[in-house]
């Protein structure tokens, strides 16, 4: 046999053995690192891939750590649902703000994982971050007679009276709110993600806790609801580059899917429940073709303007069946306008 062919065959054999016995040598990102296992409940009714045992998922399948692909192959072979590895955790520069997302948004631009991870892994990171760091960046602001209060980083609108003399961590602010409500826990809603606390019509939101967008290049975006249940899903959304769209134009819709494959849906209609986020920008006034919708959340902005104005998010709601586990929420763009972009920046599940 030609000596060059022998060398090539020998090299290929060495590479194959290395891939089997030293998989980290070829690893690319978190998914292929040997840091994973599959953990199950005692009766085997639920199993999930994770870096360590948590809750009732405490019985490991593999005797040692393996890569992500092996965990997913095992789950699929044994009839368990696999977890898509599509998430990361993004933080701001000093890690005082962090959120789970598919991509960096705004000041949350620093990823905490070297590769994509499943939702449960990202959630575990957030839980650990909240427990260890508890950044003191919050206060509770109330109106004059304390009939309305909300957790926020700064005073907004009529909520201008701080309840703490200095900034506190999230748990401290939440405990104050629980006492103010007269209960230890509100038990009324679950806001997804971590962002700026805001209350609208009695519903607690984490503004910027999620970030979904749909445009001409990506007409559908989604977020997992992880089998949670709710009687309604409340959403803060907005449209961009939409000033010339007229009232009653259907620009998109929101699907809330159940685990059984059925769904509930709500349309997003210009001038009814969605509008241009920069509706009040002075430079936009001559272009506007749709009515202004009552804002659910507002903030000061100077973006693309010589003057200050308020940006707005708007409110939409999808009624759901609380007896059925939820699978995911989808934002779908229906318009053929090449510039239009619609986004969701807060989601709350009403229990």
Query: How does pLDDT run across 6-47, given as a tens digit for each residue?
Result: 334 444 443 344 333 333 333 334 455 787 888 887 777 778
pLDDT band at 82 (very low <50, low <70, confident <90, very high): low
Nearest alpha-carbon partner for 195 in 138, 262, 155: 138
pLDDT, greater one: 198 or 102:
198
Q: How many CA atoms lie within 13 A of 270 on its CB side?
A: 26
Chain centroid to CA 81: how far? Answer: 21
Predicted structure pTM score = 0.51
Question: What is the structure's pLDDT at 156?
Answer: 77
| Residues 6 or more apart in contact with residue 90 via CB below 8 angstroms | 98, 99, 101, 103, 104, 105, 108, 109, 110, 111, 112
pLDDT of residue 112 exceeding 80: yes
Question: What is the structure's pLDDT at 122?
Answer: 81
Average pLDDT for the chain:
81
Tokens representing residue 339 in the block: 């510039």
pLDDT band at 133 (very low <50, low <70, confident <90, very high): low
Question: What is the structure's pLDDT at 140?
Answer: 87
Nearest alpha-carbon partner for 119 in 163, 79, 81, 170: 81
Residue whose entry in the numeric block shows the structure tokens 């609208």:
200
Question: What is the structure's pLDDT at 59?
Answer: 83
Question: What is the structure's pLDDT at 4?
Answer: 43
Chain centroid to CA 80: how far? Answer: 24
Query: How does pLDDT run across 241-294, given as a tens digit for each residue?
Result: 999 999 999 999 999 999 889 999 999 999 999 999 999 999 999 999 999 999
Average of pLDDT values for 112-120?
A: 81
Query: How does pLDDT run across 186-196, given as a tens digit for each residue?
Result: 446 888 887 88
d(CA 347, CA 210): 7
Chain centroid to CA 17: how far? Answer: 41
């Amino acid at each position: 046999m030609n000596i060059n062919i022998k060398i090539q065959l020998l090299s290929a054999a060495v590479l194959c053995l290395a891939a089997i016995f030293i998989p980290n040598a070829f690893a690319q990102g978190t998914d292929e690192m040997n840091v994973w296992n599959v953990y199950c409940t005692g009766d085997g009714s639920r199993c999930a891939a994770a870096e360590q045992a948590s809750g009732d998922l405490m019985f490991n399948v593999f005797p040692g750590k393996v890569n992500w692909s092996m965990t997913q192959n095992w789950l699929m072979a044994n009839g368990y649902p696999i977890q898509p590895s599509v998430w990361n955790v993004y933080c701001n520069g000093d890690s005082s703000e962090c959120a789970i997302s598919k991509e960096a948004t705004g000041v949350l631009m620093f990823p905490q994982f070297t590769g994509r991870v499943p939702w449960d892994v990202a959630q575990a990171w957030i839980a650990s971050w909240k427990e260890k760091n508890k950044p003191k960046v919050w206060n509770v602001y109330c109106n004059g007679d304390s009939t309305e209060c909300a957790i926020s980083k700064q005073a907004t609108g009529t909520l201008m009276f701080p309840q703490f003399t200095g900034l506190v961590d999230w748990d401290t602010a939440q405990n104050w709110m629980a006492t103010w409500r007269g209960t230890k826990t509100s038990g009324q809603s679950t806001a997804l993600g971590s962002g700026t606390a805001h209350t609208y019509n009695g519903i607690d939101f984490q503004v910027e806790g999620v970030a979904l967008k749909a445009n001409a290049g990506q007409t559908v975006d989604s977020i997992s609801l992880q089998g949670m249940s709710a009687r309604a899903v409340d959403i803060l959304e907005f449209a961009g580059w939409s000033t010339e769209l007229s009232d009653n134009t259907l620009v998109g819709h929101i699907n809330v899917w159940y685990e059984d494959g059925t769904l509930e849906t709500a349309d997003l209609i210009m001038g009814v429940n969605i509008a241009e986020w920069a509706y009040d920008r002075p430079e936009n006034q001559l272009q506007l073709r749709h009515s202004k919708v009552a804002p659910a959340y507002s903030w000061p902005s100077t973006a693309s303007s010589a003057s200050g104005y308020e940006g707005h998010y708007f409110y939409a709601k999808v009624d759901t069946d609380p007896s059925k586990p939820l699978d995911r929420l989808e934002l779908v763009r229906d318009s053929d306008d090449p510039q239009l972009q619609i986004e969701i920046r807060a989601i709350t599940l009403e229990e």
